[in-house]
Structure 1
Amino acid sequence: MSRTLRMLFIVGLILINVGCDQVSKSVARTHIDDTERISVIGEYVVLLKAENKGAFLGFLSTLENPILKVIFLIILPIAVLFFILRMIIITKDLDRFMIVGLCCIVGGGIGNLYDRILYQSVTDFMHIDLGGIFKTGIFNMADVSVMLGSALLLISFIKRKEISLS
């Protein structure tokens, strides 16, 4: 793949992730009332709006010090996202799973970071509860991007391990 095509692929994939996240959050902010529960698949998949002032699952949401909050919820994530983006661009031997996975992580991170900067919270709106089998907190499409990206990285690492063991 040429350098230009690779860069277009990386930027395009990140923008698709950010775009899907921001469009879905905009729809949730506009069409889901604060106290509303919209059943998508019975009580298994429900849409409800929650504003998360912290990080993943509300982590750091009770942090009172505004300087520490900015450091941990804005500055540190920006540094990590730039580091990952730099790695995607510079490292030439990344397989497709790793490139797509890292782009999903960066896109999801940018989506949630954008919310934190613009709204001082992240809009979450989906909840899955499959009884005792599987249950999530309230999440958004950026979280889905990050989880998908993490799964793709795991697949990449497993494939690399299998190749090195052969």
Structure 2
Amino acid sequence: MKIVAWVATLVFALDQVTKWAVVHGMSLDTRGLIEIWPPFLTFRMAWNTGINFGLFSGREDMTRWVLIAVALGIVLFVLVWLRRDPPGWKGLVSAGLLIGGALGNVVDRVLYGAVADFLNMSCCGIQNPYAFNVADIAIFAGAIGLVFWPARSGGKTP
């Protein structure tokens, strides 16, 4: 479980530092757009009050607290699952990615009422209108990792 704690802490810290640096340090919250390496990488400010791609973004205050509860519930579920049937080190790293990312987005919802998304990437003539953040990357990678490297027993009870 130490691996989970270290990875989660690192992801959480990296997420919060990058959000602060870009949103407040580079004033993306007032500038709206900073071209870093167009079109491959731009910083585009998006306050996401919903889930991925802004889904369920209506009724912000209720949605905010429901999504905080859901994220904390998922973190608790993963921690209980890890205790009952621990995976190998790859699964533990994946769990840490997911937990750290989820907690990073929870902090945004508590502090700002929305998740600060700023990374926007496009390529090959396709213009991506969506933004994301380090926590989103970690959540996605962690969830995929838990699918590929599940618990050691494969869900079987001894």
TM-score scaled by length of structure 2: 0.82
Q: How does 1:1-166 map to 2 (within 5 A)?
A: 7-30=1-24, 31-33=26-28, 34-63=30-59, 66-67=61-62, 69-70=63-64, 72-92=66-86, 94-131=87-124, 135=128, 137-156=130-149
Unaligned 5+ segments in structure 2 are: none
In 1: Cα distance, 2:136 partner to 2:103 partner:
11
Q: Residues 75-101 of structure 1, C-alpha deviation per residue, up to 9 Å, x if partnerless?
A: 122111111122223423x12221111
2:149 aligned counterpart, secondary structure: helix
Answer yes or no: is the 8 Å Cα contact 2:49–2:64 preserved in 1: no
Percent identical pairs in the alignment equals 24
Structure 2 counterpart of 1:130, one-letter code: C
Q: After the TM superposition, which of the residue ranges 144-153 and 105-114 deviates more from structure 2? A: 144-153
Unaligned 5+ segments in structure 1 are: 1-6, 162-166
In 1: Cα distance, 2:80 partner to 2:125 partner:
41
Q: Residues 11-60 of structure 1, C-alpha deviation per residue, up to 9 Å, x if partnerless?
A: 11110010000000101221133344222222121112221111211111
Structure 2 counterpart of 1:37, one-letter code: L
In 2: Cα distance, 1:102 partner to 1:52 partner:
24
How many residue pairs match? The answer is: 150
Q: Residues 87-137 of structure 1, C-alpha deviation per residue, up to 9 Å, x if partnerless?
A: 223423x12221111110111000001110111111011001113568472
How much has 1:155 moved relative to structure 2? 3.2
Answer yes or no: is the 8 Å Cα contact 2:4–2:95 preserved in 1: no
Structure 2 counterpart of 1:123, one-letter code: A
Answer yes or no: is the 8 Å Cα contact 2:6–2:96 preserved in 1: no
Instruction: Give me the CA root mean square deviation.
Output: 2.4
Q: After the TM superposition, which of the residue ranges 27-36 and 101-110 deviates more from structure 2? A: 27-36
